[in-house]
Amino acid sequence: MRERREYAEPFKIKAVESIQLIPRDMRLQAISDAGYNVFNLPSEAVYVDLLTDSGTSAMSDRQWSVLMHGDEAYAGSTSYRRLREVVEEVFGYPYVAPTHQGRAAEHILMTMLVKPGDRVLGNMHFDTTQGHILLKDAEPVDLVFPEGLDPQAELPFKGNIDLAALERELGEHAAGRQRVPFVLITVTCNNNGGQPVSMANIRDASRLARQYGVPVFFDAARFAENCYFVREREPGYAAKSVAEIAREMFSYGAGCTMSAKKDGLVNIGGFLAFRDEATYRQAVQWQIVFEGFATYGGLAGRDLEAMAQGLREVLSPEYLENRIGQVSYLAERLDELGVPRVRPAGGHGVYVDARPMLPQVEPGRFPGQAVVTALYEEGGVRAVELGSLAFARRDAKTGETIYPPNELVRLAIPRRVYTDRHMDHVARTMGLVMKRRHELRGLRLLSEAPVLRHFTARLEPLP
Ligand code: F0G
């Protein structure tokens, strides 16, 4: 599949932020002090920070300027109205409840609609989504088609739902609608590599769900990247604008949760949006207790302004070409070094496949985390493990550890922040890790929290 294309730089730099690569001995000390967990590193000890693409975007001059228009009224803010108009224009959903970030929108949606014993179906639920479903004593069910989990399968839409599995689940559980409150489609699918979902798959999944009277919602965090891939890869969409594609995509759903920290191009913010007023009214009840009044939802008026402006900018074809192009650029540099990775490259980053890279390190010794710590040691690059450290869980019945299907290392690229020279540094650093890879023995846990342990765990390298 064609990943790399020529792309222009559709912006120049107006403000700069200093970063430095601290000396190697200091990096070794910093990662040791951090308990070999990059979440514990002070950010000034990081040179190129690819921990996440969330909340790390550079805002545009337009976004900075609209901050001054923020209306900080507690109720009836004009900034809220501007956000509502843009969301309706982009998503086609007229009812909008702002939240402080994506997981807050999930919190409200799950509180409204999920009951104990329910099965929430989706392609792949993000970890906070899973967490909110589990907190309701319900079951998050991932139905991504099997090749979606094969890092080597070079397919255009690896975020697609397995429609046969969806039909089976709906047939078995949706009778009476007690057991499947909704289907949640995550675009793009973060957990398996930022992989897009095709329009055809969304259309078919939504038709199936409708047959069973089950609504479809989207986790829209990276919707623009998904829509760009539809235009590039799906027959019949090359002549459409990304905005038109987005309108079609959301027309198949009843609403969405949004982490605007990704494709809203802001540092904080999110929302819920609905087609239907009654559902929105229900959401507002919870929004007010969890987040804040209906017209600010835990955000400042200026944040609402920046989010509205960001949602307009993210659909620019030049921006998206550059964005996806940069991800492919890094992927290509890693290919030159023979680094195993998820294919094709995703929308928001490159996912390195740690299992073939470190075959000597078994899942219980966290091969992904071994690559993550080596990347920091070799070049001050901060990546994140999406493997056994993040996702292994103990079976409630047998007590056995269930390992995730893959041991991945995500190099998530913040939007509009780094140049391709930063990407060259990342690739060079990965080259140094490749040279050292046979020496890496993995790590062992010293302490862990009962849920989402990767954020706070402390580890030590095995000798
Ligand atoms: N949905 C998806 C697909 C996500 O990737 C995230 C966050 C959320 C929901 C939650 O949104 O952070 O605004 O509360 N992903 C970040 C990441 C943290 O690094 O991938 P949030």
- Nearest Cα residue to 375 out of 429, 440, 418: 429
In tens, the pLDDT along 277-320 reads: 999 999 999 999 999 999 999 999 999 999 999 999 999 999 99
127 alpha carbon to ligand 1 midpoint, in Å?
Answer: 8
Question: In terms of domains, do 200 and 151 share one?
Answer: yes
Q: Which atom of ligand 1 is nearest to the CA of 188?
A: 3
61 is catalytic: no
- In angstroms, the CA 65 to CA 309 distance is 10
More confident residue, 150 or 3: 150
420 is catalytic: no
47 is catalytic: no
Domain region containing 457: 24-53+316-461
Please give the average per-residue pLDDT across 422-435, as a whole number.
98
Q: Is 123 in the pocket of ligand 1 (CB under 6 A)?
A: no
pLDDT value at position 449?
84
pLDDT value at position 393?
81
Q: How many domains does the chain have?
A: 2
Out of 118, 127, 142, 353, which one is annotated catalytic? 127
| Burial status of residue 116 (CB atoms within 10 A of its CB: 0-12, 13-18, 19 or more) | exposed
Out of 49, 219, 263, 353, which one is annotated catalytic? 219
Give the pLDDT band (50/70/90) at residue 1: low
Please give the average per-residue pLDDT across 252-278, as a whole number.
98
Q: Whose CA is nearest to atom 21 of ligand 1?
A: 102
In tens, the pLDDT along 377-386 reads: 999 999 999 9
Question: In terms of domains, do 40 and 148 share one?
Answer: no
Q: How far lies 86's CA from each of 214, 278, 456, in Å?
A: 27, 21, 37
Q: Is 101 in the pocket of ligand 1 (CB under 6 A)?
A: yes
126 is catalytic: yes
What CATH number did the domain enclosing 226 receive? 3.40.640.10
Question: Under a CB-based contact definition with an 8 Å cutoff, are residues 150 and 191 in contact?
Answer: no
Question: In terms of domains, do 323 and 293 share one?
Answer: no
What CATH number did the domain enclosing 364 receive? 3.90.1150.10
Q: Is 102 in the pocket of ligand 1 (CB under 6 A)?
A: yes
Out of 33, 74, 175, 424, which one is annotated catalytic? 74
The answer to the question of residue 124 being in a domain is yes
The answer to the question of residue 3 being in a domain is no
Last residue within a domain, chosen from 313, 340, 362: 313
% of residues, the chain, pLDDT over 90: 91
- In angstroms, the CA 428 to CA 376 distance is 12
Question: In terms of domains, do 73 and 161 share one?
Answer: yes
| N-term to C-term CA, the chain | 41
Q: Is 57 in the pocket of ligand 1 (CB under 6 A)?
A: no
- In angstroms, the CA 314 to CA 320 distance is 7
